[in-house]
Structure formats: C-alpha cells, structure tokens
Structure 1
Amino acid sequence: MSRKPGVIETDCYQARRALSDYLEGDLTPQLRLLMWEHFQTCDHCRPVYDGLRNIVSLLGDEEVIELPEGFSQRLYQRFLSSASASTT
C-alpha cells in the first residue's frame, strides 16, 4: 500500500512475478518504470534482476562458446565429488 496519494508502489513479490515480462518488454510504460525503480532501489530484487538479465543476454547471444577439451567431464566429476562430500 502506498503512503503517498496517487502513487502506486510495488513489493518484491510483484516485482519478481513481473520480471520476465519486464525483460521481454511486455509491460505498460507506467508499470515498466515502476519495475525499473524497484530493481534500482531494492537490495533483494536487484541481484535477481541482474542475474536473470545476464542469463537472458548470454542465451540470446548467437555466438557459441567453445569449451576446452574435457571440460564437461571435469565439471561432472567435480559435481559428483561435491555431492558425495555433502552427503557424508
């Protein structure tokens, strides 16, 4: 609830629900501005916004990143080692 008459405020729950639409440009200009202000000022939502924006940017990049030989196997082995260490 806004403490200022005529001003609509948002909360983290609403901001995170609208994040995908925000990144895709599917919000009204008024709601887009409201979300932008929230993401700029909220210490909880800003990292979520930054992270998702980076993921979308990387996935949208048509350039394929070549991984070093054996990278997938080393990563998988590291994952297995970490998983078994956390269960013991």
Structure 2
Amino acid sequence: MVLECKHVWDHISDYLDHSLDPEMLALVEKHLEHCELCSAILDSTRNILILTADDRVFELPVAYSERLHARLDDELGLASDHDG
C-alpha cells in the first residue's frame, strides 16, 4: 500500500503522538523520506505544538495592533475593489 499526501496528513497528529500502529508508522515514515511537502507539514506542525506549549508571554511593540488592523483594512479594501 502506498500512501498519498492527504492520507499522511490524516496521520500527522498520531505520528507526533507516537500512537500509530507499526504498519501505518512504517508507511508514513516511508512517505516522509521522499516527500518534501509532507516533511515540511510535519515540521510545521511540530513547531506549532512547541510554540503553543510555551507559556512565555511576549510584549508587542507599541501601536503594533493598530498598525496591523490598519494594514488588514487596507488589504481587504484592495481585495474587494478587484472583485467588482
């Protein structure tokens, strides 16, 4: 049996939790050896788990939130202009 990417993605969480049965584990690992996309998704998922488990708090620069919302408003405004 050969796994497609979408099947590997369904098992990423169990792979990281070390809860795959040995047969599925072997199939996922074989796929990951040759698929850069799935390997990147695995690394990204692992990084997200590490970051969300980190209880440190980071202070944002002054007025960052306002600049972010202004930029989002500008971008969304431009996107709607192209739709009509």
What's the TM-score, normalizing by structure 1? 0.72
- Alpha-carbon RMSD across the aligned residues, in angstroms, is 1.9
Q: CA deviation at 1:46?
A: 2.2
Counterpart check, 1:77 vs 2:70: yes
Q: Which runs of 4+ in 1 moved over 4 A?
A: none
% same residue: 31
Q: Which residue of 2 aligns with 1:3?
A: none
The structure with the greater share of residues assigned to helix is 2
Higher relative contact order (CA 8 A, sep 6+): 2
After TM superposition, the score normalised by the length of structure 2 is 0.75
Query: 1:40 matched to which residue of 2?
Result: 33
- What 5-or-longer segments of structure 2 have no aligned partner? none
Q: Could you tell me how far 1:30 is from its partner in structure 2? A: 4.0
Length, aligned pairs only = 81
Superposition pairs of residues 14-53 of structure 1, within 5 angstroms: 14-53=7-46
Equivalent position of 1:86 in the other structure: 79
- 1:12-41: CA deviation from partner (whole Å, max 9, x where unpaired): 121011111112222124433432332232
